[in-house]
Amino acid sequence: MGKRKSSKKPVAKKVKPKLDTSFNCPFCNAAGAVHATLDFDAERGKVSCGVCGEEFVSIIDRLAEPVDVYAAWIDACEEANNERNVQQEREEQQRRERERDERPRQRPRREEEEEEEEEDEESR
Ligand SMILES: [Zn+2]
């Protein structure tokens, strides 16, 4: 013993809050594979996936953070998905309408056939 305890409490070194610059990839779902790089001089922020190679570039301002570029990428992905869904729904509807148009054309023909059968019975 004899050692005097320092009155000063050892303060944990304050770690600078590091901005999160790695995200999950919306394309291949690789966790933390997407890294963002911000070029404030060119006002361009880029996110790219180190696994599948997908990348997205967005215009940024001086206050932009990596997550902003990533969020813009996700928004763009969702928008593209929505457009694709709308397109699919439209095609599906067109196909259904085409089938509907074809069906009534067959029905009158069957009625005609029935009439013809009746006529055959009468003539017999
Ligand atoms: Zn990916």
The tens digit of pLDDT for each residue in 28-78 reads 999 999 999 999 999 999 999 999 999 999 999 999 999 999 999 999 999
Residue 103 has what pLDDT? 73
41 CA to centre of ligand 1 in angstroms? 27
Q: Rounded to whole angstroms, how far apart are CA atoms 27 and 52?
A: 8
Output 118 or 97, whichever has higher pLDDT.
Answer: 97
| pLDDT tens-digit series, residues 82-116 | 999 999 999 999 999 999 988 766 656 555 555 55
Query: What is the architecture, at CATH level 2, of domain 22-105?
Result: Single Sheet (2.20)
Q: Which residues have CB less than 5 Å away from ligand 1 (the ion)?
A: 25, 27-28, 30, 49, 51-52
* Domain edges within the chain: 22-105
pTM equals 0.60
- pLDDT computed for residue 21 by the predictor: 82
Residue 57: enclosing H or E segment and its boundaries? Answer: strand 55-59
Please tell me the distance between residue 53's alpha carbon and the centre of ligand 1 in angstroms.
6
CA 81–ligand 1 middle distance (angstroms): 16
- Residue 25's pLDDT band, with cuts at 50, 70 and 90, is very high
What is the rounded distance in angstroms from the CA atom of residue 57 to the CA atom of residue 72?
9
User: What local confidence, expressed as pLDDT, does residue 72 receive?
Assistant: 96
Q: What is the whole-number distance in angstroms between the Cα of residue 80 and the centre of ligand 1? A: 16
12 HSE (CA, 13 A, CB side): 3
Interval between CA 77 and ligand 1 midpoint (Å): 13
pLDDT of amino acid 109: 59
Give residue 55 CA to ligand 1 midpoint distance, Å: 9
Q: How far is the CA of 66 from the centre of ligand 1 (A)?
A: 17
What pLDDT, on the 0 to 100 scale, is given for residue 53?
Answer: 97
pLDDT value of position 19:
59
